[in-house]
């Protein structure tokens, strides 16, 4: 086989490999592409280009406390004192999938499958006060914040591409693990020793 023919065959192989449909880089390497396969577009996928998701099942959910504001009262006296803590910072907590995929009715899904206290967005209040006894020669820290669930879930993710049609990750067939914090409407003070 001549050199020209070998180069031609290799060129065809490279050109053919280049037509494989792929999207952005994997987490492991920016040089590797994620292979995708075309599917019929589900009815819930809008006509706009993007990555769209439908939540399927919960992997894990654990309750945490996210702090919006902290205050401290230090007592250098020989007797206990009453300390007053007042929230002065407002912060908004929202459901936000770390991958950036837009999930259809994720808030409602989490509300049903994790906790009925979950809301799509919660903003902490300003001016909310509480008091605590601060022992002699010690300190008490007051944290004002929101109860939040750290949720890992499986979602069915579909890519709507400008070249037409819908596609899914060939490795998972679109069923991918995702994470989101999910705020609740429960907010308040937590006091701890300083």
Task: Sketch the domain layout of the chain as residue ranges.
Answer: 3-193
**pLDDT for residue 84 is more than 90:** yes
Question: Can you give 22-37 as a three-state secondary structure string?
Answer: EEEECCCCCCCEEEEE
The answer to whether 190 and 137 have CB atoms below 8 angstroms apart is no
Over residues 95-133, the pLDDT tens digits come to 999 999 999 999 999 999 999 999 999 999 999 999 999
Q: Model's pTM, two decimal places?
A: 0.77
The whole-number average pLDDT for the span 171-180 is 96
**pLDDT for residue 23 is more than 60:** no
The residues, any chain, with a CB within 8 Å of residue 111's CB and separated by 6 or more, are 118, 119
Rounded to whole angstroms, how far apart are CA atoms 176 and 156? 6
22: confidence class by pLDDT, cuts 50, 70, 90: very low
Nearest partner of 121 among 144, 90, 143, 87, judged by Cα: 90
Rounded to whole angstroms, how far apart are CA atoms 57 and 154? 5
Output 75-82 pairs: Cβ under 8 A, ≥24 positions apart.
75/134, 75/135, 75/136, 75/137, 75/138, 75/139, 76/137, 77/136, 77/137, 78/136, 78/137, 79/136, 80/133, 80/134, 80/135, 80/136, 81/133, 81/134, 82/131, 82/132, 82/133, 82/134
The answer to whether 176 and 155 have CB atoms below 8 angstroms apart is yes
The H-assigned helical ranges of 23-158 are 106-113
More confident residue, 28 or 144: 144
């Amino acid at each position: 086989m001549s050199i020209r023919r070998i180069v031609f065959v290799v060129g065809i192989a490279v050109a053919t490999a280049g037509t494989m449909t792929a999207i952005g880089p994997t987490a492991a390497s920016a040089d590797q592409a994620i292979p995708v396969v075309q599917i019929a577009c589900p009815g819930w996928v809008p006509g706009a280009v993007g990555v769209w998701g439908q939540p399927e099942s919960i992997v894990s959910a654990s309750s945490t406390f996210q702090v919006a504001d902290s205050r401290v009262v230090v007592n250098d006296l020989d007797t206990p004192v009453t300390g007053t803590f007042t929230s002065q910072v407002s912060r908004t907590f929202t459901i936000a999938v770390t991958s950036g995929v837009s999930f259809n009715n994720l808030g409602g899904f989490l509300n049903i499958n994790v906790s009925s206290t979950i809301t799509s967005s919660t903003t902490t209040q300003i001016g909310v006060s509480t008091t605590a006894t601060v022992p002699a020669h010690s300190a008490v820290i007051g944290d004002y914040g929101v109860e939040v669930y750290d949720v890992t879930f499986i979602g069915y993710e579909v890519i709507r591409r400008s070249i037409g049609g819908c596609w899914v990750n060939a490795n998972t067939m679109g069923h991918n693990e995702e994470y989101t914090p999910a705020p609740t409407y429960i907010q308040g003070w937590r006091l701890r020793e300083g």
